Amino acid sequence: MNVRYNSNLAFVDLLFNLILGFAFLFIVAFFLINDPTEDKDVEAKVEYMIIMDWDGKRDIDMDLWVQGPSGLVGFRSPNIGYVNLDRDDLGHRNDTIINKTTKKREIVRINREVINVRGFQTGEYIINAHWFLTREEKVKQKPLDVNIQVIKLNPYKEIYTGSKEFTWKGQEQTFTRFSMKEDGNYWKMNSLPKNLVLRPSSSSYSNDPAFPSYSTAESPSGTLTTPRGVGVSRQAQDDEGNP
């Protein structure tokens, strides 16, 4: 008489090994999960932020200029040394979006330019604003209030906030000046005016290729000024809207 004995021991061993393997993988995955609340040392990208804004309802192209130790930064030269122009606002021209519902182009009524200082370089920094262009009819033109804010980010501190009134196209004004130390701290803040973009027109400049007279700004007093260090390409883009 033959008697057979059935055993499930091999199946139990296989099942136990599978469970053990999954448990091991779960433990490994758990240790690899990064804690989103864990503090990390993130290298600062910007040390100083300079923000200029003006009435979003006005189709006016204001330009922000910063003279740093390495040179003059603006739309013509947006990146010099640690100073970088992050946004060049042309007024309503580049402040548009396409409405997904109506499929029509709409104006985003925000006029703002931003220049960032991404590192420490000793020397003086001069911050100016220049009324470059308007697409408004002359009979509708009125004074424009322009605001500039200078923020030190590490640690956060608003070191300057100011507003100035601009009354004519081509006008340039100095908002503030400060010097930077080697450790990035600022000192010697003042508002002594200095033109960065405009120089009085004269015969001595007319034949100088370094100062192309692609555009002329007229002050109320009748004094002519010629933009300095700017290129023909920007004027070609804006000619169609220049009154």
For residues 100-122, average pLDDT: 84
Is the CA virtual torsion 119, 77, 86, 175 positive or negative?
Answer: positive
* pLDDT-wise least confident of 21-25, 181-185, 219-223: 219-223
Q: Has residue 96 been placed in a domain?
A: yes
Phi/psi for 143 (5° steps) reads: -55, 150
Q: Which domain holds residue 171?
A: 48-195
Query: In one letter, which amino acid is 22?
Result: F
Q: Has residue 158 been placed in a domain?
A: yes
The pLDDT value given to residue 207:
43
Q: How confident is the model at residue 68 (pLDDT cuts 50, 70, 90)?
A: very high
Q: Has residue 12 been placed in a domain?
A: no
Q: Has residue 109 been placed in a domain?
A: yes
Q: How confident is the model at residue 66 (pLDDT cuts 50, 70, 90)?
A: very high
Q: Has residue 240 been placed in a domain?
A: no
Q: Has residue 139 been placed in a domain?
A: yes
Q: Has residue 161 been placed in a domain?
A: yes
Say if residue 117's pLDDT is above 90: yes
* pLDDT-wise least confident of 11-15, 40-44, 59-63, 209-213: 209-213
CB 88 within 8 A of CB 52: no
The pLDDT value given to residue 42:
47
The pLDDT value given to residue 89:
79
Domain total in the chain: 1
Position with higher pLDDT, 11 vs 5:
11
d(CA 74, CA 83): 10
The pLDDT value given to residue 30:
72
d(CA 179, CA 64): 18
Q: Has residue 204 been placed in a domain?
A: no
d(CA 207, CA 205): 6
Rounded mean pLDDT of the chain?
76
